[in-house]
Each structure stands twice: as structure tokens, then as C-alpha cells.
Amino acid sequence: MPLLETEGLVKQFGGVTATDDVNVTIEEDERVSLIGPNGAGKSTFINLVTRRLEPTSGDIRFDGDSILGLDPHEVVQRGVSKSFQTASIFPELSVLDNARIASLAAEHGKFRFNFLSRLDSYPEVDELARTTLSDVGLWGQRDVPAEDLPYGDKRRLEIGIALAAEPDLLLMDEPTAGMSPEETQATVDLIEEVKEGRDLTYLLVEHDMEIVFSISDRIIVLNRGEVIAEGPPAEIREDESVQDAYLGGVEA
Ligand SMILES: Nc1ncnc2c1ncn2[C@@H]1O[C@H](COP(=O)(O)OP(=O)(O)O)[C@@H](O)[C@H]1O
Ligand SMILES: [Mg+2]
């Protein structure tokens, strides 16, 4: 059974069809990239899967069950987590407290939280926060206010926050946007590292083709809301419809 499956997924904004009958499957443990020119519908697709957007028609199944009745936080509890382009960091709080809050949210429902207690009086939360920060290499900076972290480390913290939910599927929308080449490389390394240590499937939206070709098992290409190609990097590199879409699109 695929981990994620969409069937006839359509999202219209007024007259614009942002995703147009999208049928994709992602298998457990796969590293998949979603690419396409600006406006192709990539972010819309991600936001449909996280339930931030309601589809016009079609279905989305996670682990075999439709998630269409679920709220965004319930999707996270099922095991789908999104990193980046989210205001997930509390800038004035320390790195550790940010991790604690993410851990608390992840553990929510497993125990009863008393708002009069201190955040660090929950051993389960503390333990998860520590593991999470170690995983993304930020344990040494735990006492630093999040706003004082360099840009690349902030992105690391965001990945950590997404990982605290212990997702089966991690969605990333342009994680390297606005980064220097060094920060980009560090982020790519982090994504690969994080994947190595755990049972994780990811779907990455990324515009840098070299990254996409190096980091993916499979690539799905969207153009004007439609899947125009999918396959392993070597196949996509040679695909003429993909080359046409990029040359004819907004981006070269
Ligand atoms: N909230 C929205 N309201 C109206 N139109 C939108 C909205 N979000 C996206 N669109 C339109 O849907 C299309 C796909 O957008 P998007 O998913 O952001 O593309 P991508 O992430 O591939 O650049 C674009 O034409 C965009 O203008
Ligand atoms: Mg986008």
C-alpha cells in the first residue's frame, strides 16, 4: 500500500486550476521531489496534503485512509509533517524551549498537560526535545534565543520542529529558498542525514535541479497543475516534455 496516494486531485481558485486531476503515489521510504515552473501548483499540492486547503474534487489517502475529513493538526498526528515556509519558530524563546513546545505538541494526547506547570517539568517532553535538537545539530545552541541563530541554523530548527512530531512523511516546500550556496549545501546534507537515521519518506519541492537530481529516488513534474512526467532522475533529465515545460515556462 502506498504511504500517500492522491486520486483525481483538483483545486480551483476562481478560474485558475492550480492542480488538475493529479494522481500520484508515494511509497514508504521513498525520496520524492516535486518540480515544475513557477505557478505549476506545487505549493497548492503540498497545502492540500496538509489540509491547509480544501480540494475542489478528488481524494487524498494516507496509509490507505482518506484524510479529507481531518483538520490540519489531525493530519500531523497521523504522521504528515511540513517544514519550511511556516512561522513555526518563536523568535524570543530559546532553541530548547522551541524544541520543547514542538515536543509538547507532538506528545499532546499522550498525557495531560497542566498549564500551571513549567514546560520543563515533563520528562517525556524534555527527552524528545533533546533528541530532536541533537538530531539537527543544535543541542550546543540550546540556550540561544531562536532569533539570534544564523539563517541556516533557523532552517535546521524548523526541520527539528517538524521532526519532533515523528512524521512518517515529511513535506518540504523550497527549503533552500533564500540561502547562500553554503547554507544550501548544509541543508541538503541535513535532509540526507535526517533520512538516514529514521524511517522517513519525504516529498521535497525544490527549484535547484542539481539538488533534485542528486537527492531524489523519483521526481514528479507538474506543469499548469498537471503531472507531465514522473520517474527516476536519469529519466526526467532526458524527458523532452520536461525540458519544454521549463523552457516555455517562467523559469529557464
Ligand atoms: N490562495 C490562492 N488564491 C488564488 N490563486 C492561487 C492561490 N494559491 C495559488 N494560486 C494560483 O494557483 C496556481 C498554482 O500556484 P502554486 O501552487 O503556488 O504554484 P507553485 O508553488 O508551483 O509555484 C498559480 O496560478 C497561483 O497564482
Ligand atoms: Mg510554491
Query: Cβ distance 186 to 24 under 8 Å?
Result: no
Domain boundaries defined on the chain: 1-79+168-252, 89-166
How much is the pTM? 0.89
Letter for the amino acid at 181? Answer: P
pLDDT band at 108 (very low <50, low <70, confident <90, very high): low
Q: Assess whether the C-beta atom of 39 lies below 6 angstroms from ligand 1.
A: yes
Mean pLDDT, the chain, rounded, equals 89
Quote the pLDDT of residue 110: 53
Which ligand 1 atom sits closest to the C-alpha of 205?
21
Quote the pLDDT of residue 148: 96
Q: What is the whole-number distance in angstroms between the Cα of residue 83 and the centre of ligand 1?
A: 19
The model's pLDDT over 196-252, given as tens digits with 9 standing for 90+, comes to 878 899 999 998 888 999 999 999 999 999 999 999 999 999 999 998 887 664 444
Q: Which residue has the higher pLDDT, 13 or 186?
A: 13
CA distances from 12 to 9, 96, 109, 160 (A): 10, 41, 35, 33
- Would you state the cell numbers that stand for residue 244, as one nine-digit string? 519544454
Instruction: For residue 22, give the nearest of 212, 249, 221 by alpha carbon.
Output: 221
Q: Assess whether the C-beta atom of 40 lies below 6 angstroms from ligand 1.
A: yes
Q: Assess whether the C-beta atom of 249 lies below 6 angstroms from ligand 1.
A: no
**1-79+168-252 maps to CATH 3.40.50.300:** yes
pLDDT band at 169 (very low <50, low <70, confident <90, very high): very high
Query: Cβ distance 183 to 176 under 8 Å?
Result: yes
- Which protein residues have their CB within 5 A of the ion that is ligand 2? 42-43
The model's pLDDT over 110-146, given as tens digits with 9 standing for 90+, comes to 555 565 566 666 788 889 999 999 988 999 999 999 9
Q: Best mutation site among 9, 10, 12, 16 for ligand 1, i.e. most ligand atoms within 8 A of its Cβ?
A: 16
Q: Assess whether the C-beta atom of 77 lies below 6 angstroms from ligand 1.
A: no
